[in-house]
Structure 1
């Protein structure tokens, strides 16, 4: 039989999934690694940890192939906005500086204040934020001059994996559109953004199609993965755009909502669309499919914080959900803004901080638990309102990610959005989408719409009309409050950094 492997280079783990050509899952493997953080906003990963995770996970799924089976290709999804600097001899000067790194916040705010930021956003589709390599370059230039001056080459995470395996220096279109230095209309590196950073084209990789294929990997790595040295490796795309494909949300008006470590809401359009208020991103899946949406830092990480910091790590996630389920919708007027590590959409403010609002003597930890779950969904709803202004009404919502294992959390989403929430049966959306890209690259399918035959509905959550009035009353308070608090985010963040 014929098989394909999809690999997802995630923020906290790399996952590999072995598929049949019809999308059936045969085996999967996940290998975690540490995200190194500090109080200054650092969020980095070790290159070797992730590379080893790729080798291990592919090995652990490839062992399920029999002698007569054929592995057609391996294809990739990757976390966006990462940056790695190398010297002239290709020695790494940095670890993987991830999307979650906020050390460039000062230079990001300066760029916004200068007025240049909005113009760059309109050409690149990437909001001005410390997550983007654009801001990371500015930070390196000012605060890590020793690295900046020695750097001869820059890659992102997936580019590094392919460089190790094949010795090529490339970046595919989808990931390039999230750098903040790539013009999404000219489909080339943006000249003015490069001038601003001082980085030249020779330091950057070649931009290729997501359907680009590499063969002839280094023998030692083929052995470690247990696959043939001439196995085809397809570049694939970035995890955000691929998530839409993987949950069958590539038709107009169909939104994909994903909540894992972080979260996002996205819709697909046929051309790049930017927002006059710079609230949404525009990234490519390929040249014919553009994903418009907003990412949030606040997802599963906030739930983990609730468990470990508020509830002392003594309860399981299911037990916490049970506590929250015993509280009425709206948490009796307790609102939670989940900006523990700054926020991307809708605020695009790395200085943002979390808060409970409305606390009184009647509230207890159960209220706080439900308020945290509701706060993440209120935040996504704020992003959705911005998205609707840019792309039009949402006609359908496909939800995926770890949060869908919680019936309560998914029901809260349906009630706040006042729309049915469809949970696709596949929980390996990123890896499945990468495999679909591989099938198109190999000529096995003519269109990405083949995903319709592979993704069915696992469950649909209908909104509960009894909860509409409560959430309609609280939603505008939540939104107004986020704007009021934003005036002081910089002050409190600066105080915390000095401490």
Structure 2
């Protein structure tokens, strides 16, 4: 049987192609960057031709290391919340509006005048905002009705690439569909009442299928430009959030992980949608059709720490006010700062916040500073503030209290100091996964392997996920952080209505 799965991961800034063998080992990889086009008014777009060019270039590169006839299948992970209108030939009608595009924010109230927020959340498991494709489609119909009329389908990034590979137009997977704002989590299909109430055309939506679905085969034209073998199976894969869950090793009910990068989220595997009465978290479909992922996301995690280190590091050139971030030196010094940062509390709301407070006007703040504090107290309070935000999410999705270990992936998983803080704040063991930066690609590869029969089930593919070190909570620190977390929440409640100027 063919021995390799190729996973293409379309990220916000980079496209990565990774070849895995049937033991989960990386055999070859290649990456390419592409631009995002930002403009005033909340516009954030990517060019689908960049996606396709990078797909071809990275594929050609990795095929130098393997025999293309030994490829069992090609699968995908990609950023979610996109909106790419294509015509009946699959030709893009504009650049794709990606997840960061918020141009539809001014019409959010119009949607809620047509369908209640509680009703929408109860059906879709999501609270609607401008990043969701439903609002982007509604915006297009209102602002550019001619383009809306010409659109045959509205696709996600991976759906477009799958079409280019196979010629099969108009297919998506459950996970991406579940983050559009128009998908019924219970039926795993588009919710007709939402389209009726908003006046949008349901027939313009791609057909949702399981993430393991073989949606076609590499066509001759693609084989000629990439070196792939015509007829190689193409698996639709999933959105990056769902792929990360599987890649983190969360394959069974109640297993939970943290993803810590520029942004961060906490996600738990559930066997049914999690409908929070206060709408603080949201639910998407898992790659495994038996499950869902309930999660909460925070806006600034790694970006908040990066900001802090840049402000606190020494200036190396006063003419340009250049700073060389001193991460390793801070990592060493932070170990000397006691838990609780000598009373300093930081709210990491540098770009507003999503879960659990959903307040885009919230701003970052430091409390408790005195002349006795130094830069290292401040820096550690930033890490603790991020951890408190994540704990505020974790306690919602694990409302019965979890004693399980929690997995961790993402760039900040390299900081031992921060991982220990997370363990202490959550009062849970934190287990790292090897190749944490490959989690979304591993998830896509597992979906592909299950799809082509390389693995009988997701559970049988667990051996592909290699775990690393485990951090145990320090009970003395846990007691300190339990009190500090309550202060963190109380302080926010007392200042949340104060207008801040930016």
User: Could you say if the C-alpha distance between residues 352 and 135 of structure 1 is closer, same or farther in structure 2, counting changes exceeding 3 Å?
Assistant: farther
Tell me what 2:289 maps to: 287
* Structure 1 unpaired stretches of 5+: none
Tell me what 1:381 maps to: 391
* Aligned 8 A contact 2:455 2:461 in 1: no
Write out aligned runs for 1:90-239 (5 A): 91-108=91-108, 116-141=116-141, 148=148, 151-167=151-167, 168-239=169-240
DSSP 3-state at the match of 2:237: strand
* Aligned 8 A contact 2:22 2:454 in 1: no
DSSP 3-state at the match of 2:236: strand
User: Could you say if the C-alpha distance between residues 485 and 228 of structure 1 is closer, same or farther in structure 2, counting changes exceeding 3 Å?
Assistant: farther
Structure 2 distance, partners of 1:41, 1:355, is 25
Shift of 1:362: 3.3
User: Could you say if the C-alpha distance between residues 376 and 470 of structure 1 is closer, same or farther in structure 2, counting changes exceeding 3 Å?
Assistant: same
* Aligned 8 A contact 2:348 2:382 in 1: yes
Structure 1 distance, partners of 2:296, 2:416, is 24
**Larger deviation, residues 444-453 vs 376-385:** 444-453
CA deviation vs aligned residue, 1:32-63 (integer Å, no higher than 9, x gap): 23344456444333323333222222332222
Structure 2 distance, partners of 1:358, 1:291, is 37
User: Could you say if the C-alpha distance between residues 232 and 485 of structure 1 is closer, same or farther in structure 2, counting changes exceeding 3 Å?
Assistant: farther
CA deviation vs aligned residue, 1:436-473 (integer Å, no higher than 9, x gap): 11121112322211233222331001112231232112
Structure 2 distance, partners of 1:363, 1:223, is 64
The answer as to 2:8 corresponding to 1:32 is no
CA deviation vs aligned residue, 1:323-375 (integer Å, no higher than 9, x gap): 54443322222222222233221123333333333333334433332222222
Shift of 1:65: 0.3
Q: What is the number of equivalent residue pairs in this alignment?
A: 490
Tell me what 2:71 maps to: 71
* Structure 2 unpaired stretches of 5+: 314-321
TM-score (norm 2): 0.89
Structure 1 distance, partners of 2:111, 2:361, is 15
The answer as to 2:433 corresponding to 1:424 is yes
* Aligned 8 A contact 2:344 2:381 in 1: yes
TM-score (norm 1): 0.89
DSSP 3-state at the match of 1:104: helix
Shift of 1:149: 5.8
Structure 2 distance, partners of 1:304, 1:133, is 30
Tell me what 1:242 maps to: 243
* Aligned 8 A contact 1:307 1:314 in 2: no
* Aligned 8 A contact 1:105 1:350 in 2: no
User: Could you say if the C-alpha distance between residues 188 and 115 of structure 1 is closer, same or farther in structure 2, counting changes exceeding 3 Å?
Assistant: closer
DSSP 3-state at the match of 1:261: coil
Shift of 1:122: 0.7
CA deviation vs aligned residue, 1:380-435 (integer Å, no higher than 9, x gap): 1111111123x763522011111111111111111111111011224222111211
* Aligned 8 A contact 1:129 1:350 in 2: no
Structure 1 distance, partners of 2:43, 2:329, is 32
* Aligned 8 A contact 1:130 1:350 in 2: no
Structure 2 distance, partners of 1:143, 1:483, is 38
Write out aligned runs for 1:53-68 (5 A): 53-66=54-67
**Larger deviation, residues 4-13 vs 401-410:** 4-13
DSSP 3-state at the match of 2:58: helix
Structure 1 distance, partners of 2:102, 2:347, is 19
DSSP 3-state at the match of 2:370: coil
